[in-house]
Chain A
């Protein structure tokens, strides 16, 4: 059974600070990792993808992957109130076109 674990939160971060979101996965053969942002009542929006160990930066977002520890994280720098949302970690185990396995998401609140 493939599992993706996230702390459900809520995680409260002051505006302008760094928000750190974490995710662990059970399938050691997983090859692709994604972070989605989901606002209440809306569908998930892809914000980051990462495939190799290390860091990947895109604007205020940095994704980090450690396959040995089966751990993925997302850092949001200079957090804004508009970043308040649920962040979903998703894993593609098959290395191809398989369906994604999602965590339950972490609810992030940026306090003005």
Chain B
């Protein structure tokens, strides 16, 4: 049984470039979440998918951010025109279908550094 996987694990980019991250959830989980975490803070919710439908987006998710989950399996998070303030750990979590209490299991994260 494999856990949530994320790629790449680290990304260094220059300001203004676009970046894309990938998340593969636990295979039987139909719910997928994206969070962002900066140093000294807890994870902050960005967006959530149930199967391929994006059901919730945080106010933190500006127009430069877009997420997809086209076949209800893996998901991508794209950041366009990156800014230094986007530097953070981007975390993906998944949760099994039908679980009323929403236990979420995190992947290892993608650490983004914007120079």
Residues of A within 8 A of B (CB): 4, 8, 31-32, 34, 36, 42-46, 49, 51, 88, 90, 92, 95-105
Contacts and interface: CB of A to CB of B under 8 A. Distances in A.
A100 B106 CA distance: 12
Given A44-B43, A103-B42, A98 B102 contact: yes
Shortest beta-carbon contacts, A-B, top 7: A102-B42, A99-B45, A43-B106, A32-B101, A43-B109, A92-B102, A44-B106
A99 B93 CA distance: 10
Q: Provide the main secondary structure of the chain A interface.
A: loop
Residues of B in contact with A, size category: 20 to 34
Q: Provide the main secondary structure of the chain B interface.
A: strand
A49 B104 CA distance: 10
A10 to B, nearest CB: 12
A36 B34 CA distance: 16
Interface in B52-76: 55-56, 58
Nearest to A44: B106
Interface of B: 31, 33, 35, 40-48, 50, 55-56, 58, 89, 91, 95, 100-109
A44 B56 contact: no
A23 to B, nearest CB: 11
A101 B45 contact: yes
Given A49-B101, A97-B95, A98-B56, A43 B108 contact: yes
A99 B42 contact: no
B106 A105 contact: no
Given A97-B31, A99-B33, A99-B46, 11 more contacts: A32-B102, A43-B107, A46-B106, A49-B103, A96-B102, A97-B48, A97-B95, A98-B48, A98-B102, A99-B47, A100-B33
A88 B101 contact: no
A9 B108 CA distance: 25
Contacts of A98: 48, 56, 102
A45 B109 CA distance: 12
